[in-house]
């Protein structure tokens, strides 16, 4: 048996420990890919962003301030986005989820733009913010809660604005619009549901009973119980 000096034995032990720790570090799994999860509403509804018109005027007589996803309104179209309307012009729009700005489509006919924000490595879910004045650029990374633009006057000249957060999901059978509030970060679900419900209650108090002609845009009992997603999916476009 070869006997080594104590100092040499200690040195070898430490060296082996360092190499082992390096091996462990190298064997660590890569960080999980970011998820497409909504963690904030694109409009901070707690800061009174509203420019509600009279309940008997357009669009209040037909639409509530936050449209119900999957609901078919009087124009015959099924709501396929998280549409927030009757907003004060200049209201900040924030990113509802983190990602990268991949495209900005200017829409001069309505004096606004559509901003596309996707996850860095793509995926089956793709989002966009329509009818906003952007303050971001293509290629820019954004985090949830970051201001990405403001709300302009609707159709260039109305005294209020509105915006849409649309999420498209690609599947083997095609593409569908998905209710953004169906893919909320579980830690934020109760908070966002409470913010939506607060708006619903305030709107119903403003327009009156849903059975009256003036209150035809009021949220129903089913809306109040279920939330803003009448369905999870709707036809895209």
Per-residue pLDDT tens over the stretch 151-183:
999 999 999 999 999 999 998 879 999 999 999
- Rounded to an integer, the average pLDDT of 206-215 is 73
Phi-psi region of 230 (alpha: psi -120 to 50; beta: other; left: phi over 0): alpha
How many CA atoms lie less than 13 Å away from 171 in the CB half-sphere?
12
pLDDT of residue 20: 47
- Rounded to an integer, the average pLDDT of 15-29 is 52
Query: What is the helix (H) or strand (E) element at residue 197, kind and residue range?
Result: helix 189-207
Distance from the Cα of residue 214 to its chain's centroid: 31
pLDDT of residue 72: 96
- Rounded Cα distance between 83 and 179, Å, is 10
- Rounded Cα distance between 67 and 77, Å, is 12
Give pTM, 2 decimals. Answer: 0.85
Residue 142 contacts residue 104 (beta carbons within 8 Å): no
pLDDT of residue 129: 99
Q: Is the pLDDT of residue 44 over 90?
A: yes
Q: Is the pLDDT of residue 199 over 90?
A: yes
Sign of CA pseudo-dihedral 220, 225, 227, 230: negative
Residue 120: band (very low, low, confident or very high) from pLDDT cuts 50, 70, 90: confident
Pull the structure tokens for residue 178: 């998905």
pLDDT of residue 209: 72
- Rounded Cα distance between 217 and 203, Å, is 9
Check whether domain 45-234 has CATH 2.60.40.10, yes or no = no
Q: Where are the domains of the chain?
A: 45-234
Pull the structure tokens for residue 58: 């357009």
- Rounded Cα distance between 72 and 77, Å, is 5
Pull the structure tokens for residue 60: 């209040």
- Rounded to an integer, the average pLDDT of 54-68 is 94
Residue 114 contacts residue 128 (beta carbons within 8 Å): yes
- Rounded to an integer, the average pLDDT of 102-112 is 99
Greater pLDDT, 189 or 13: 189
**DSSP character for 4?**
P
Residue 213: band (very low, low, confident or very high) from pLDDT cuts 50, 70, 90: low
Residue 135 contacts residue 86 (beta carbons within 8 Å): no
Work out the number of other CB atoms within 10 angstroms of the CB of residue 65. Answer: 27
How does the average pLDDT of the chain come out, rounded?
Answer: 89
- Rounded to an integer, the average pLDDT of 198-226 is 88
Which of these, 207, 199, 191, lies nearest to 224 by C-alpha position?
Answer: 199
Only one residue has tokens 């089956």, namely 124
């Amino acid at each position: 048996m070869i006997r080594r000096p104590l100092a040499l034995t200690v040195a070898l032990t430490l060296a082996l420990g360092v190499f082992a720790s390096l091996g462990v570090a190298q064997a660590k799994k890569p960080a999980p890919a970011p998820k497409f999860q909504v963690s904030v509403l694109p409009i901070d509804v707690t800061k009174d962003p509203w420019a509600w018109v009279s309940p008997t005027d357009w669009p209040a007589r037909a639409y509530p301030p936050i449209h119900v996803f999957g609901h078919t309104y009087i124009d015959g179209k099924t709501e396929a986005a998280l549409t927030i309307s009757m907003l004060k012009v200049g209201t900040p729009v924030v990113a509802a989820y983190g990602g990268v700005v991949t495209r900005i489509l200017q829409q001069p006919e309505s004096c606004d733009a559509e901003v596309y924000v996707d996850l860095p490595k793509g995926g089956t879910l793709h989002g966009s913010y329509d009818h906003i004045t952007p303050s971001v650029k293509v290629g820019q990374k954004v985090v949830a809660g970051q201001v990405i633009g403001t709300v302009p006057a609707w159709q260039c000249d109305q005294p209020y604005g509105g915006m849409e957060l649309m999420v498209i999901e690609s599947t083997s059978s095609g593409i569908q619009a998905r209710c953004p509030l169906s893919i909320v970060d579980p830690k934020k679900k109760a908070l966002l549901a409470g913010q939506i419900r607060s708006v619903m209650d305030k709107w119903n108090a403003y327009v009156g009973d849903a059975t009256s002609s003036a209150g035809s845009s009021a949220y129903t009992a089913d809306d109040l119980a279920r939330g803003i997603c009448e369905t999870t999916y709707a036809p895209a476009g």
